[in-house]
Amino acid sequence: MADGHYNNNHVPVLFSYSVFSRPSSVPVGSGHELLIQKFRSIYGHQIDVHRKFVIQLFSEEWGQYIDLPKGFSVSEKCKLRLVPLQMDITTLGNLSPSTTVFFCCDMQERFRPAIKYFGDIISVGQRLLQGARVLGIPVIVSEQYPKGLGNTVQELDLTGAKLVFPKTKFSMVLPEVEAALAEFPAVRSVVLFGVETHVCIQQTALDLTGRGLEVHIVADATSSRSMMDRMFALERLARSGITVTTSEAVLLQLVADKEHPKFKEIQNLIKASAPESGLLSKV
């Protein structure tokens, strides 16, 4: 067998994908998330991360594979297969504080004179970071080559951020970020803002959706050096199934109810309308 031998804490499982099958093992009690991780560890280079999948269990009773029952956990030797769905799944775009992480991308000092409406973007970014603290939402912050481009602008208060890390890759999705996300297994949504829309924001969003996360890009908190690049990137991302939204929509969706205990604090953040940051410009 692939793992050599099994002990009392592991169960043999046959993992099948496409025309391939490979015996391995998983810890007793493994559920859906651990099984998905196992499939990816075995077949990662063959799985199209942009697809949606279901896991099926071979049923001796029926003599064929059936969809994995809700709440299933591995307790005995079994056969599983990963099946790509043929139809795209359109998500509803719901947000809740317990399943959301905020990503702040490259809001650095050296970009100040170059990025269109950067002052407005900073202002909206402040609201989002304040909202994250009020609602207890984890924040992950990247800085693109800070040695040359400086650190995050002083106006943005990063107090309590889960991770602030330097990078040279355009996408924020690096091993240290994936490790930080793994600490929040319930997370299904990322609220993403920063610069530049057509480069780091776009590549981060596509990488995150490829990992099965739903991405919400805050249009009034992201920009580029060129309005053309900014607007075409937002259009492309929206067509890719990524939610393009606004800061006020995000914050109010996260509280969802006037009776939410944090509603008043969020309301105070949005009393004044956010700047339009050129989004409604006809120029």
Each residue of 185-234: pLDDT tens digit?
888 899 999 999 999 999 999 999 888 889 999 999 999 999 999 999 99
What integer best gives the mean pLDDT of the chain?
A: 90
User: CA 192 to CA 261: how far, in whole Å?
Assistant: 25
100-270 — its CATH code?
3.40.50.850
Residue 259 burial (CB count, 10 A): 7
Residues 6+ apart with CB under 8 A from 26: 10, 11, 13, 34, 35, 38, 74
Is the confidence at residue 29, as pLDDT, over 60?
Answer: yes
Query: Does 1 score more than 60 pLDDT?
Result: no
pLDDT (tens digit, 9 = 90+) per residue, 66-86? 999 888 999 999 999 998 775
Give the span between the Cα atoms of 84 and 66, in whole angstroms.
14
Classify domain 10-84 by CATH number: 3.10.20.90
Any idea what DSSP says for residue 90?
A: P
The catalytic site residues sit at 106, 167, 200
Percent of the chain with pLDDT over 70: 92
pLDDT score of 53: 81
Domain ranges of the chain: 10-84, 100-270
CA distances from 39 to 9, 31, 124, 221, 251 (A): 19, 12, 40, 37, 36
pLDDT at residue 283, rounded to an integer: 42
Checking if the pLDDT of 281 tops 80, the result is no
In this predicted model, what pLDDT tens digit does every residue of 165-188 receive, in sequence order?
999 999 999 999 999 998 888 888
